[in-house]
Amino acid sequence: MGWVNCDLLQCSIACSVETGGGATLWPIMQPYHRPLFLASMAVFLFGCQNAPTTMNASEPTPPQAVKKPFAMTVHGHTRNDEYHWMRLSEEQRNAAEPDAHTREVVAHLEAENAYCDSMLAPVAALREELFKELKARIKESDMSVPYRENGYWYHSRYEEGKEYAVQVRRKDVEGAQEEDFLDENAMALGSTYYDLGDFEISPRNGLVCYSEDKVGRRQYELRFKDLSTGKDLPDVITNTGGGCAWADDRTIFYPRKDETLRSYRIYRHELGTDEANDVVVFEEKDPGFSCDVYRSRSDAFVMITTESTTSSEHLILSVKESKGDFRVFLPREEDHEHTAMHVPGIDGAAGKWYIVTNWKALNFRLMECAEGDTGNKRKWKEVLAHRADVFLEDVDVFKDHLVFTERREGLTHLVVRRLSDGREHEIAFHDPAYVCYSGTNPEWASDKLRYGYTSLTTPSSVYEHDLNAKTDRLLKQQEVVGSFSPANYASERIWIAVRDSVKVPVSLVYRKGTVLNGTSPLVLYGYGSYGISIDPTFSSSRLSLLDRGFVFAIAHIRGGEELGREWYETGKMEDKMNTFNDFIDCGDALVRLKYADPARLYAWGGSAGGLLMGAVVNMRPDLWNGIIADVPFVDVVTTMLDESIPLTTGEFEEWGDPKEKEAYERMFSYSPYDNVKDQAYPAMLVGSGFHDSQVQYWEPAKWVQRVRDHQQGDAPILLHVNMEAGHGGASGRFSALKDVARNYAFLLWRARKVE
């Protein structure tokens, strides 16, 4: 299996929180730089309603989009969306010759970008200073910790000044030379966006299948390279999900996407043949499910996984029968989630399966069964029982050990069980707020566990744990270039009782010496959806805020899974308001406890966390001095009613299906776009990507216009649209920092206005 960027990904994990990411591990977004005159020309050509005019030299006024009535009636209830016209199809966005409608929309977005830059002009020098500061902390020439797989050592390497990584391998024999087999910098030439989705090495190590996206909509092309010659093969497979699985050195399986970008079919491809002749081996007909394919860690099976938010199903095929039929591991069952891991037999014995399952186990448990007993749960044997206060998040299976990743009281733990006698030991960690996680462990027979560790004050670290000796060895820690010392920073973890008496954990970090007497600015980050846990990770970028006196806090609100499955269940569907109330109550408490200046409290979230931002700013605009909402999901009802939009059907189990009246009314009650009203809104900086396939750009664009229409105060509402990126933002490691610098400059700008 290919592990793109290996432990260098931890740098992304470590900075994901304050740059708009959640457990989705987003990359951060790049600013889209266009001179002001381009927007002015667009205004001249396509309509003066978009002009970023000025009242005077120091007061730019925002562009005003035209209003075009568009009525939508559902369940006898009519909504008017005067900005519905901003929507463009994917074909319109990518057309070589844009039509009049496209030109009108693009002109407006360009004008928004120009207005955003004009409003941030007072901190233009600060933005540049911040960018240089953020970049200076990055070790430009760097490499990941090598890992061994199938007779080779693999790692990623970054070179000074380069945006992307080089994938490298070396045969595990004395004197072997390193091979640069995928140079992402060369592959990205000529592209404004580039993402190497995944790579997989063929069983006999001679070929690599890799996926790449040059638009940002997560529609990947699969390509193949002969590693002995360095030449690409003629095979190219379009519109895939990005993953793939080798059965043998000529046969590969991959997922393909439908018009809504749902991975709905698994195909078999024979090298040297036209993709038009590829065979469909599985089709997922339920629009609420999406499928993927991979090779088992045991290398014995090709496995198809298809899942919705609350259910999963697996199909398996022996790699020895590449043209055979997949068989169902266990027929799908409503609300049954499970993960299957194959273990090869030892000394000729039959193999078996381990299953992490929520069958009669809200917080999941571990079961095992013989290879032929997968479809009969009565033959499954319990290995690790369900516990009401412990969430079983993951299991790593080794020849002689099991390693459990668990969550207790919101923090992750690694517990090792020796199979020979059942004895267990736990790896100890001591920071008040941290996260540990299993790393790159492709080889089942190893007695070493690779794991990662980071905290709010500890840079991302890779350790090797001896499963027998119970000892740890630090292999690599993220280097922060400059004068950084963990001793200069402090972290805390507190519990806040919210309005229904439930206690919510909050993680905080600040520079030592920061006065906690109610006079310090504070940024509160939140997400609270999909059962995704937002963990307290280190970020070298965040130091620029902390060193300027900010406190940074993460509210681990309901809707995530920090406190187990119930924490998620009580933050979705009919209980979704808990997510918003938790966040507001945490903000109030941080002011009351004097961590935050009441006049300089800020909120930040992205994607579904952007929905959180939209809801809380409607509910309590007075609480915040500023809001950052990255790629925010704010037009909930309209999007969830439109099944032609990517990902909508798979979201019904998270938000509900608005074709049902009860669900419609529930969503409408908190949908940010539908609940904008006449009141004084705080300053807002909203980010979007023109090619975003998950939260289409028109949602934040419309929302910004509507908020401005109802704004009763004088705080600015800003929008920046990256015209060359999608949901994850920019792909380059340095370009992405420009967006971080913009966000930080916005916060510092608003904080200084209060001083």
Note the maximum CA span of the chain: 83
Two tokens, residue 556: 């681990």
**Pick from 638, 507, 610, 555: nearest CA to 29:** 610
Question: For residue 651, which amino acid is it?
Answer: E
Two tokens, residue 459: 């840079």
Strands 551-555 and 503-511: antiparallel
Rounded to the nearest 10 degrees, the angle between the axes of helix 661-670 and helix 577-592 is 20
Q: In 6-99, which ranges are continuous DSSP H helix?
A: 9-15, 36-46, 90-94
Residues 342 and 331: their CA atoms lie apart, in Å, by 18
Instruction: Kindly state the helix (H) or strand (E) to which residue 487 belongs, with its residue range.
Output: none
- Side-chain-side CA neighbours of 68 within 13 Å: the count stands at 10
Two tokens, residue 699: 């949602």
**Pick from 428, 435, 410: nearest CA to 538:** 435
List the 401-408 sheet strands across, edge first.
391-397, 401-408, 411-418, 424-426
C-beta of residue 392 within 8 angstroms of C-beta of residue 364: yes
Residues 315 and 325: their CA atoms lie apart, in Å, by 10
- Side-chain-side CA neighbours of 513 within 13 Å: the count stands at 7
Residues 703 and 710: their CA atoms lie apart, in Å, by 11
- List residues with catalytic annotation: 607, 692, 727
Contacts 24+ apart (CB under 8 A), 189-194: 192/724, 193/691, 193/724, 193/725, 193/726, 193/730, 193/731, 194/164, 194/731, 194/732
Residues 749 and 755: their CA atoms lie apart, in Å, by 10
**Pick from 701, 706, 717, 522: nearest CA to 602:** 522
**Pick from 26, 87, 90, 23: nearest CA to 261:** 90
**Pick from 605, 606, 576, 579: nearest CA to 667:** 576
Two tokens, residue 706: 């509507």
Residues 576 and 703: their CA atoms lie apart, in Å, by 21
Residues 583 and 635: their CA atoms lie apart, in Å, by 20
Residues 506 and 503: their CA atoms lie apart, in Å, by 10
Instruction: Kindly state the helix (H) or strand (E) to which residue 601 belongs, with its residue range.
Output: strand 601-606
Strands 338-343 and 352-357: antiparallel
C-beta of residue 500 within 8 angstroms of C-beta of residue 549: no
**Pick from 633, 555, 564, 539: nearest CA to 595:** 555
Residue position matching structure tokens 């504070």:
522
Residue 638: burial class (beta carbons within 10 Å; 0-12, 13-18, 19+): buried
